Amino acid sequence: MTDPASAFPLPESGRGEDSDTFRLRVERWGPEVLENLRTVYGEGTESLLERCAAILAEGFAARPRELRLLDERRLLRPDWTQRPETVGYATDPESFAGTIAGVAGHLDYLAWMGVTHLGLDNGTHRWDDDGAALAGLESLTAETRRRGMSVGVDLVLSHVADDHPWVARARAGDPRYRAYFRIVGDRIEADAWERTAQRAAGASLFTWDDAVRGWVWTSHQPGEWELDWANPDVFAEFLALMVRLANRGVEGLLLAGVSRLWARMGTPCVDLPEVQHLLHALRAALRIAAPAVSLIAVGNSPALYLGTHAHHGQLADLAVLDALTVHSWSALASRNTRMMEFAIAALPPKPSGATWITRVRPRSVLRWRLSDDDARRASLDGHSHRAFLQEYYTGEFPGSFARGIPVPGRTAEDLGVAGTCASLAGLEAALEARDPFGVDDAIRRILLLHSVALGFGGLPLLAMGDEVGILNAPSGDGGAAGRPRMDWQVAARAGAAWESGEAPTLPDATAEVPESQWREAAAARLYADFQHLIAVRASTPHLHGAVESRVVPSPDSRLLILRRSHPLGVMVQVYNFSENTVELSCDLLRGHLGVVADERLTGYEYSLMPWTLSVDPYRALWLTQKV
């Protein structure tokens, strides 16, 4: 059996303390790399391990001193993504500032908001072959580190676009690059795969390509070629890319498409056991060269990507919890939290060192991926409820406040909408109507949704512009509606109003004022409230991500009640998902908090001796125990 330590050469420039550091990391994580690669690749493991060793040794040797110090700092504080002062902000360079270089010019804005993690959707950039983009990224990460921020970028593992250099080389007849992709020679074999592999109804997994004279696996969509991770070269390519990004200062890699990394005929080809081995090997290898970098998983099985059984806590460091996102919007439309209760209660325990990423919305499409089992437990039909949500958030349902854009999915069941939080939560409609009461309700809804995301525990990820109520992109179709360009004029005025301590007020409904004045007043209110919410979160240790949120069965279906058991005392959160005032039994609260509690969001002390506590419409309460 190969000794992992002997397989990993010392970095050429590493002597003394540096070589000791590398050797100690190999001793710690090398066996995990070897074991998981051997499970996946069998006889091909030895040569792959040699390649990985060279990649990691070279990457470690080339790692700038500043980033090596960051590695040690992260290892000494492993809960750095779980602390309540952490807040993420998701955007893309084009929408936020036009270019990667332009993003640096707006970092002060993010710092004023208390943002600690900047998540960059790559947009038009491709990190593996865009030298200018990598140089711009390196410059940006240097600026963010000076402000105590980290930068994360997306990295799609499952496929590449058909204009990628690897595809060009495969089409040119290079057998090495042809082997990077799942290509079959005849339709009979393609049909055999399609008998069991998961795919959209009526759609083919394969697309014929004349240049390669074969059927290319394109299960995501025809222009995207699926990579064949059964080829060890693909693993080595991505490990090398991850190390290069780490040495450019990237501190987070959001791994997309992980569910489809492995295929086996006769299976659905989704979330097969090899996926966990591959993620485990990637994470362990990256720990050797750049342990400051966190891996982030997004997909339909977030708990799986945090690791099960022998992989528990050894795969992704963070996972996007989109179930919380979808059920929050569902509860808001239905004024009923029962299904949300079941969904949260059904979450498996996450590893203590792992962190949920919570968000109010993705910046692309909000898909109604609700469990039929959760729906049945709440006495609902999953199909009918998804159809209701689609109608509600596209504004077609009577009484809806939403202005979302419908986005078709790969199946009839995969319904979804695009839109900003403000447009989906009713602010766009209220501003059009110049309805001050409607604006007030919309702002309350926006803050309620963000209170859930910031209070659940983990790393909350704000979508660009939601803090100032940015509306859908003009003429936005598909996912573009939820990705408008940042309105820096509105943001600057909202920030100035907050700094001056002004209390923003809406115009008189009867006054003849431009709609822009209404928008700016709403933006100033939202910005001030977001600043307050983020500051309260940062000062509340009960929100540390290592603590789990547990459902307290609510006596009223309009309320969601969560309990967090922290060493400093119990925290109970109450969320009213309706436009009505709800009376909550103080007897229930006393059983968790005692007779007096501090309400963190208002700073008030609440006596829990009365019979009931009135929970205002769309109100969030963060109650902590007096100790």
Amino acid at 109: Y
Per-residue confidence (pLDDT) for residue 217, from 0 to 100: 95
Per the CB < 8 A criterion, the answer to whether 533 and 446 are in contact is: no
List, in order, residues 6 or more apart from 489 with CB less than 8 Å away.
Answer: none
- For the chain, what is the domain count? 4
- pLDDT for 132 equals 78
pLDDT reading at 13 higher than 60? no
Instruction: Examine the domain organization and report whether 250 and 275 are in the same domain.
Output: yes
Same domain, 400 and 532: yes
pLDDT of amino acid 421: 97
Q: 314-351: per-residue pLDDT in tens?
A: 999 999 999 999 999 999 999 999 999 999 999 988 89
Least confident piece of the model among 169-183, 352-366, 438-452, 471-485: 471-485
Domain of 408? 322-543
- Whether 568 and 426 map to the same domain: the answer is no
Closest CA to 171 of 225, 218, 219, 130: 225
- Phi-psi category of residue 284: left, alpha or beta, with phi > 0 → left and psi -120 to 50 → alpha: alpha
* 203 shares a domain with 105: no
Burial (CB count within 10 angstroms: exposed 0-12, middle 13-18, buried 19+), residue 488 = middle
Asked if 419 and 372 sit in the same domain, the reply is yes
Say how many C-beta atoms besides its own lie within 10 A of residue 571's C-beta.
27
Is 33 a residue whose pLDDT tops 70?
yes
Q: What whole-number distance in Å separates Cα of residue 498 and Cα of residue 166?
A: 50
217 and 239 in a single domain? The answer is: no
For residue 481, the model assigns a pLDDT of 83
What's the pLDDT at 62? 95
Average pLDDT over residues 470-474: 91
Mean pLDDT along residues 75-86: 95
Same domain, 334 and 203: no
Q: Are 53 and 2 in contact (CB under 8 A)?
A: no
> CA-CA-CA-CA torsion for 540, 544, 550, 554, nearest 10 degrees?
20
Share of the chain above pLDDT 70, in %: 96
DSSP 40-93: HHGGGHHHHHHHHHHHHHHHHHHS-HHHHHHHHHHHH-TTTTTSTT--EEEE-H
Burial class (CB in 10 A: 0-12, 13-18, 19+), 508: exposed
Question: What's the whole-number mean pLDDT along residues 192-221?
Answer: 87
Tens-place pLDDT, residues 265-322: 999 999 999 999 999 999 999 999 999 999 999 877 777 888 888 898 899 999 999 9
- Model pLDDT, residue 2: 66
Q: Which two tokens stand for residue 63?
A: 């790692």
| pLDDT score recorded for residue 345 | 95
pLDDT recorded at residue 445: 98
> Does the pLDDT value for residue 206 go beyond 80?
yes
pLDDT of residue 231: 97
Instruction: Give the mean pLDDT of 93-98.
Output: 93
Give the residue-averaged pLDDT of 432-453: 96
Query: Which CATH number is 607's domain given?
Result: 2.60.40.1180
- Of 185, 200, 226, the position where a domain reaches its end is 226
Q: Residue 139: which residues within 8 A CB-CB, separation 6 or more?
A: 100, 101, 104
Q: Which of these three, 300, 320, 340, is where a domain ends?
A: 320
The 3-state DSSP class for residue 193 equals: helix
438 and 346 part of one domain: yes
Same domain? For 46 and 104 the reply is yes
Q: Does the pLDDT at position 503 exceed 70?
A: yes
3-state secondary structure of 251: coil
The stretch 476-495 carries a mean pLDDT of 86
Residue 458: name the closest of 352, 553, 368, 532 by CA: 352
What is the maximal distance between C-alpha atoms in the chain?
81
Q: What is the CATH number of the domain that holds 203?
A: 3.90.400.10
Name residues whose C-beta falls within 8 Å of residue 425's C-beta, 6 or more positions apart in sequence.
Answer: 332, 401, 402, 442, 445, 446, 449
The whole-number pLDDT of residue 123 equals: 60
pLDDT of 477: 61
Cβ atoms of 87 and 119 closer than 8 Å: no
The Cα–Cα gap between 303 and 258 comes to: 13
CATH number at residue 460: 3.20.20.80
**Residue scoring higher pLDDT (130 or 425):** 425
> Which pLDDT belongs to residue 363?
86
Supply the mean pLDDT for the chain: 92
Among candidate residues 510, 543, 576, the one where a domain is terminated: 543
Q: Rounded CA gap, 594 and 624, in Å?
A: 10
Q: Are 105 and 186 in a shared domain? A: no
Same domain assignment for residues 493 and 571 = no
Asked if residue 473 and residue 437 are part of one domain, the reply reads yes
